[in-house]
Amino acid sequence: MTSTTESSCTTETVKGTHRFQICQFSYGNVGDNDYIRSGTFRVGGFDWVIVYCPDANCIDGEGYISVYLELMSKYAEASALVDLRLINQVTGEPCTIYAENNVPNQFNSSSFEEATWGREKFMSKRSLKDSVYIRDNCLVIECVVTVVHELRVSENKAVCEVEVPPPNALEHFGKMLKDTSGADVTFKVRGETFPAHRAVLSARSPVFKAQLSEPMKENKIWHITVDRMEPAVFEALLHFVYTDSLPTMDDLDRAEKNAVVQHLLVAAIQYGLERLKLMCERILCMSLDVENVAVILRLADQHDCRKLKEACVDFLVPAERVAVMASHDYEIMKLFSPSPLADVWEKSRRPRRSSP
């Protein structure tokens, strides 16, 4: 018995938002400090502040405000995503000005540079003047902090498994073939009787469907005689119809099995069983030898089995061709099935004339 367990890896995040209102925005910085800190707010177990610089020192002479997020917890390290916004005071909606939402920023309170993240040129004062972000000379900065904690791996837990057995419909159909109690048609093949089921035959073969299409009277069993087919071949045909496979035929030697497959190929064509036809072609391709290649070539030529015909031609390398052409089956093929290939073989036997 096998068992399966599973565990999961998750990253816990904590999000918090803080708004910092800057009153008398136009007054700029008042006092000796170059920056102003908001009140401390706590997110994800850490203390934070918004740092606002009203008069950033810019080389190009245009005035800017600077905005940062600062980690205030002492001797702390944190990983966080940051979204710095301004509030549209007409609609009340926040507008992102500068954000990092893909890779968390690493904060370390050991120094101001490592403890802060933001933008020196957050927005120019010229852009802010008479904008939707200033109302009654007030500016509102909003900061959304998402603290990312370490990965957590859960404990193993058992996975509920329901074992489903492999499909066995064909196995049941095979048993159905052996169980004659529900048979409603019998085939008589050279004195042997084979019971079967009309529904199965009609579903598998268009020829059987046409043959058995007439309505059946109550308690009537159809009796059909099959001419020009050996019982072993018809039995193999029924086995395929019910199981989609060929019988093992372990009681037959190589030549006998080859002969059955040849006749089964003809039966497959007769009853419109394309897959069975291809299976027989494949078996015959793999069992070609000097003794049977002429017969199989004649069979392939008669029933337009192109792949099988090509395999026979490929088999006839110069070393094998002489032996095949000397066989009795080859002579029969020339008499009863004079295919173009026989002419090609004859030409290959004739010595080439030397040029004068």
**DSSP state letters, 109-178:** TTSHHHHEEEEEEEEEHHHHTTSTTEETTEEEEEEEEEEEEEEEEPPPEEPP----PPP-HHHHHHHHHH
Compare 221 and 186 and report the one with higher pLDDT.
186
Half-sphere exposure of 336 (CA within 13 A, CB side): 12
Secondary element (H or E) of residue 242: helix 231-243
Please, what is the angle between helix 306-315 and helix 293-302, to 10°? 150
Q: Which of 43-52, 147-156, 173-182, 242-251 reaches the highest mean pLDDT?
A: 43-52
Tokens of 131: 């904008």
Tokens of 89: 């005071």
Q: Are strands 185-189 and 222-226 parallel, antiparallel or unpaired?
A: parallel
Percentage with pLDDT > 90 across the chain: 49
Confidence band of 340 (pLDDT split at 50, 70, 90): very low
Domain ranges of the chain: 11-149, 169-349
Domain 11-149: state its class.
mainly beta
Segment 224-238 mean pLDDT:
94
The model's pTM is 0.52
The per-residue pLDDT for 355 is 42
**What single-letter DSSP state applies at residue 337?**
-
Please determine, looking at this structure, whether the domain spanning 169-349 carries the CATH number 1.20.120.1750: no
Comparing 123-127, 193-197, 272-276, which segment has the lowest mean pLDDT?
123-127
Decide if 11-149 and 169-349 have a common fold.
no
The per-residue pLDDT for 61 is 58
The per-residue pLDDT for 28 is 73
Strand partners, 187: 194, 224
Segment 45-68 mean pLDDT:
83
| Residue with token string 């920023």 | 105
Distances (CA, A) of 210 to 88, 201, 213, 322: 79, 10, 5, 47
